[in-house]
Chains A and B, each alone.
Chain A
């Protein structure tokens, strides 16, 4: 894998949706008198199966507080929707945080493999292995025509969502995303900005994923997403070169200003932080910085730092709930320290 590739395809995720045959789906389960007992039984079975394989930490039914959930959401380990069912929901997370199994989100079971970098096949192999283990002890809701039965018909069939987080500053800033979205749609894929659907995206990050889950094999879905990712990587790299050529010194100035502010500021809100780090990452990818470390490693460290500087992660690091102003000051201080430590040489 070349540095160019990793500078665009940031992370990979595969999610499989599954349900127990004999329990109402979570929204319905919540309306029944024995919801908590039934949910606890589900958690007990899945917990036993997974912990026989490797170490999983259990965030149990009724213990998933909003603060803890926010921390896990920021680390891509659970979804915000899991908190909606907090009376019956739980999560099991592997020690290396690559595998998470959400219980009673929209479906009874959402199995997920998440990794930095781009390798959908590896992600699928890992999560389908986990799925097989769970499937041996649980009668999944399955229909020979419709495949895995899910609460929402948009997830029927394979129940699989393969998604890749992509850093697309050139395509995005040059106004080309509006050309990309319809192309992807015609391939059965979809693109979302990480801060929701709309024109802009936080940190120039976009998530590409399959929309269709029924009537295709898992391999066909992986292949469709893979083809789109490859085309988008080439497109982004081409546009980065065009951007560099057309914007010249003003682009370099923007990147260096971002570096200067991130290194020296005293107050750093989340929105500004994401925008400046996106400028800095673009500069690293364009080769504006020389470094003792490889640029690939630098980009990966920046992504880890981004996660650590999100609000609930800051609270966890500090061991208490900080005010927004305190978080902004902490973020500025830690980002300055981080950049001085990472030996970027301008």
Chain B
């Protein structure tokens, strides 16, 4: 599902505190931060948009469901990582195939998907790109 605000990025399910009480909203993390000032949602992110894992499941098994769980639950996972590892900054080797390589490939695929009018594929690529832009720039496109 795409973000209800920007309509561009993949949405996550948030439970937000408003003057009227709590309400469920489907927003991307960037729009959520803009609208709610970066405060943690009342119920936290409900589940990973990619694999459906919940935080309760992580607490039970100690394992995350997919790479995107680290984006979806970053705030919640970082204290655990810090507790286990002591540090939060990778200083070791990088993959031969970098995020920049992947970004270039996905942008080309996105152009193809647009030409072909493949909406589903376009949505999937947009979501992957939004994650990559965040990882590369720490923010928007």
Partner of B66, one of A23, A152, A215: A23
Q: Mark B66-109, 1 if CB is under 8 A from A, else 0.
A: 11001000000100110011111111111111010010000000
Contacts of B63 in A (CB 8 A): 25, 27, 106, 151-152
Interface membership of B53, Cβ < 8 A? yes
Q: Give B64 Cβ to nearest chain A Cβ, in Å.
A: 6
B residues 35-49 in Cβ contact with A at 8 Å: none
Q: Is the CB of B97 within 8 A of A145?
A: no
Contacts of A311 in B (CB 8 A): none
**Which of B61, B89, B93, B102 has the most chain A CB atoms closer than 10 A to its own CB?**
B93
Interface membership of B51, Cβ < 8 A? yes
Contacts of B66 in A (CB 8 A): 23-25, 28, 141
Partner of A140, one of B50, B90, B95: B95
Q: Which residue on chain B has the smallest CB distance to residue A158?
A: B92
Partner of B90, one of A21, A151, A212, A215: A215
Q: Is the CB of A136 within 8 A of B96?
A: yes
Interface membership of B111, Cβ < 8 A? no
Partner of A142, one of B77, B84, B99, B128: B99
Interface membership of A193, Cβ < 8 A? no
Q: Is the CB of A157 within 8 A of B92?
A: yes
Interface membership of A217, Cβ < 8 A? yes
Q: Which residue on chain A has the smallest CB distance to residue B88?
A: A145
A residues 111-144 in Cβ contact with B at 8 Å: 128, 132, 135-144
Task: Give the distance in Å from the alpha carbon of A147 to the alpha carbon of B133 in the complex.
Answer: 16
Task: Give the distance in Å from the alpha carbon of A22 to the alpha carbon of B106 in the complex.
Answer: 13
Q: Is the CB of A128 within 8 A of B65?
A: no
Interface membership of A232, Cβ < 8 A? no
Q: Is the CB of A24 within 8 A of B51?
A: yes
Contacts of A216 in B (CB 8 A): 87, 91-92
Contacts of A152 in B (CB 8 A): 62-64
Task: Give the distance in Å from the alpha carbon of A136 to the alpha carbon of B101 in the complex.
Answer: 11
Interface membership of A218, Cβ < 8 A? yes
Interface membership of A19, Cβ < 8 A? yes
Given A135-B96, A142-B95, A215-B87, the answer on whether A28 and B65 have CB atoms closer than 8 Å is yes
Which residues of A does B touch, CB under 8 Å?
19, 21-25, 27-28, 106, 128, 132, 135-149, 151-154, 156-158, 160, 188, 212-218
Which residues of B does A touch, CB under 8 Å?
50-51, 53, 61-67, 70, 77, 80-81, 84-97, 99, 102, 128, 135-136
